[in-house]
């Protein structure tokens, strides 16, 4: 039998609305709708939990939402801010697993089967990730922990907001059996209606059907329904391996003590690694230098900044700043290195940021 996997699904709570409430105290604790204006033909992207009490939901016409709650606040989405937060949470995920599959700006699956951290406990890892998300972004996320993607996603929705819900291998089949078919991943409104017409309302009803019956009525998806009704789902987490850092180093032809020369070497190295980072359409927030003294002792110094680093005067100045935190100059140097980390995907889908000329 294949080894049991450990999958975490993370989903931010009322994502766009929570960001708006974070950034404007006036919005806090109030029904807030992100999307089209109340008198427009637009729709609700999402709304705060306060607005959900009035029955307002994503994709509802804005005019309908207005009728349900005329005193709600309507705001336009600020996608660049949401993308920034999305990058931040993806950077956190990358710290916990190399197998991370983002499915939207606010949602991702992590396969943590091989992760040793936190004693290998997926629940502890999920807790830590939630805490870090809150610390870094000021927002809450809900986590679902289970042994496959289907159940992990269901679990993240069970205890929202700020939830953490675990579905164990023992609970999985019972859980799937009790679930209304409309809650199954991949079963949309049309399929749900077709299932209801066949008398199939829950996972337990689906479980009574043979594979042949399900494939006759639902084609290829029939096999998938057969499996998920039993709590089985072997879809892998399709992680794009994002390397955690990009670096370059240079062993000098002879040991040097001239600090200006060291800075020039560091600048060359920085150009080189920044090009590689840009080519991968990644942005970076941490710059580190590595200094090996003539006696082979090695030290590193690093700085993390809020905004992505660019090839600017400020970034170049950071090299001297970091070098000043070493004994370079007083002691001779035999090797220099530059490493960029805290990598995340570029917010700019068209490609890397324009290099700043100087």
- Residue 178, strand partner residues: none
Nearer to ligand TTP, 50 or 106 (CB): 106
Site for ligand TTP (CB under 6 A): which residue of 10, 12, 200, 284?
12
Nearer to Mg ion, 141 or 340 (CB): 141
Burial classification of residue 296, based on how many CB atoms lie within 10 Å of its CB (0-12 exposed, 13-18 middle, 19 or more buried): exposed
DSSP 280: T
Site for ligand TTP (CB under 6 A): which residue of 1, 3, 59, 119?
59
Site string for ligand TTP, 27-56 (x = CB under 6 A): ------------------xx----------
**Distance (Å, whole) CA 62 – CA 309:** 39
Q: Report 105-124 residues binding ligand TTP (CB under 6 A).
A: 106-107
Instruction: Check binding of 202 to ligand TTP (CB under 6 A).
Output: no
297 is catalytic: no
Nearer to ligand TTP, 105 or 316 (CB): 105
Q: Report 120-139 residues binding Mg ion (CB under 5 A).
A: none
Of 10-18, 84-92, 260-268, 328-336, the segment contacting ligand TTP by CB under 6 A is 10-18
* Cis amide leading into 169 (omega within 30): no
Cβ neighbours of residue 161 closer than 8 Å, sequence gap 6 or more? 13, 14, 49, 140, 142
Alpha helices in the chain, H assignment, sequence order: 15-23, 49-52, 62-68, 79-96, 122-137, 149-156, 172-178, 189-197, 203-207, 211-218, 221-228, 259-279, 313-324
Which residue ranges make up the site for ligand TTP (CB under 6 A)? Answer: 11-16, 45-46, 58-59, 104, 106-107, 160-161
Which residues of this protein are in contact with Mg ion, per CB under 5 A?
A: 11-12, 15, 106
């Amino acid at each position: 039998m294949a080894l049991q996997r450990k999958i975490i699904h993370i989903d931010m709570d009322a994502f766009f609305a929570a960001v708006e409430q974070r950034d404007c105290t006036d919005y806090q604790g109030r029904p807030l709708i992100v999307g089209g204006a109340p008198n427009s033909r637009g729709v609700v992207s999402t709304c705060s939990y306060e607005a959900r009490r009035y029955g307002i939901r994503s994709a509802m016409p804005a005019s309908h939402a207005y009728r349900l709650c005329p005193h709600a606040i309507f705001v336009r989405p600020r996608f660049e801010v949401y993308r920034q937060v999305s990058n931040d949470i993806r950077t956190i995920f990358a710290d916990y697993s190399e197998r991370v599959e983002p499915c939207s700006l606010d949602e991702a699956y992590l396969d943590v089967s091989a992760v040793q951290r936190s004693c290998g406990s997926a629940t502890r890892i999920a807790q830590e990730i939630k805490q870090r998300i809150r610390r870094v972004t000021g927002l809450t996320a809900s986590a679902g922990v289970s042994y496959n993607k289907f159940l992990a996603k269901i679990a993240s929705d069970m205890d929202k907001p700020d939830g953490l819900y675990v579905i164990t291998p023992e609970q999985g089949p019972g859980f799937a059996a009790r679930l209304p078919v409309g809650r199954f991943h991949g079963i949309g409104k049309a399929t749900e209606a077709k299932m209801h017409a066949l008398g199939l309302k829950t996972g337990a009803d689906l479980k009574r059907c043979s594979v042949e019956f399900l494939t006759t009525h639902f084609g290829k998806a029939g096999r998938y329904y057969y499996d998920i009704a039993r709590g089985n789902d072997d879809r892998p987490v399709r992680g794009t391996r994002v390397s955690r850092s990009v670096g370059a180093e240079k062993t000098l032809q002879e040991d040097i003590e001239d600090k200006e020369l060291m800075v020039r070497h560091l600048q060359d190295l920085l150009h080189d690694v920044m090009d590689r980072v840009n080519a991968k359409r990644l942005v970076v927030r941490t710059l580190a230098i590595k200094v090996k003294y003539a006696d082979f002792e090695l030290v590193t110094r690093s700085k993390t900044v809020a905004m992505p680093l660019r090839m600017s005067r400020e970034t170049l100045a950071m090299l001297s700043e970091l070098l000043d935190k070493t004994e370079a100059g007083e002691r001779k140097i035999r090797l220099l290195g530059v490493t960029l980390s805290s990598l995340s995907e570029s917010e700019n889908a068209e490609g890397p940021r324009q290099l700043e000329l100087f």
